[in-house]
């Protein structure tokens, strides 16, 4: 069975600080990797995704993530956070098998950015 671990449950930063949220997964086969974000009062939306190719992927609002296959990790980064980045962030893994998938989400990281 696949699993996803997000190491930081709550992160508090000041504006302009750098951000790195850890995500590790366990699955033996091909994976598609995602970060989703849930802003206060809004629905979950895709931040970025990795399917194949360049392991460094860029998403919306200046976020990026790096897939390190040997470490089973897909950490999210942003060089300089803004107050508007305050949100809940979810790492998700889709283990690809037999033409379909079962998505597994991490528990989420609550990010608060102080102005």
Residues that bind other proteins (CB under 8 A): 32, 34, 36, 42-46, 49, 51, 90, 92, 94, 96-97, 99-108
Residue 68's Cβ-count burial label (10 Å; 0-12, 13-18, 19+) is exposed
72 or 101, CB closer to other proteins? 101
29 or 115, CB closer to other proteins? 29
9 or 83, CB closer to other proteins? 9
Residues whose CB is less than 8 angstroms from the CB of residue 21 and which lie 6 or more positions away in sequence, other chains included: 6, 7, 8, 11, 75, 76, 77, 89, 91, 109, 111
Taking the complex as a whole, the smallest distance from the CB of residue 75 to other proteins amounts, in Å, to: 18
Taking the complex as a whole, the smallest distance from the CB of residue 35 to other proteins amounts, in Å, to: 12
């Amino acid at each position: 069975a696949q699993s996803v671990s997000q190491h930081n449950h709550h992160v508090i930063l000041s504006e302009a600080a750098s951000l790195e949220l850890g995500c590790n997964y366990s699955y033996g086969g091909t994976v598609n990797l995602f970060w989703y974000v849930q802003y206060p009062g809004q629905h979950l939306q895709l931040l970025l995704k990795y399917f194949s190719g360049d392991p460094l992927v860029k998403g919306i609002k200046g976020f990026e993530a790096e897939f390190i296959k040997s470490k089973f990790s897909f950490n999210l980064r942003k060089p300089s956070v803004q107050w508007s980045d305050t949100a809940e962030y979810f790492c998700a893994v889709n283990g690809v098998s037999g033409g379909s998938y079962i998505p597994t989400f991490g528990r989420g990281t609550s990010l608060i950015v102080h102005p």
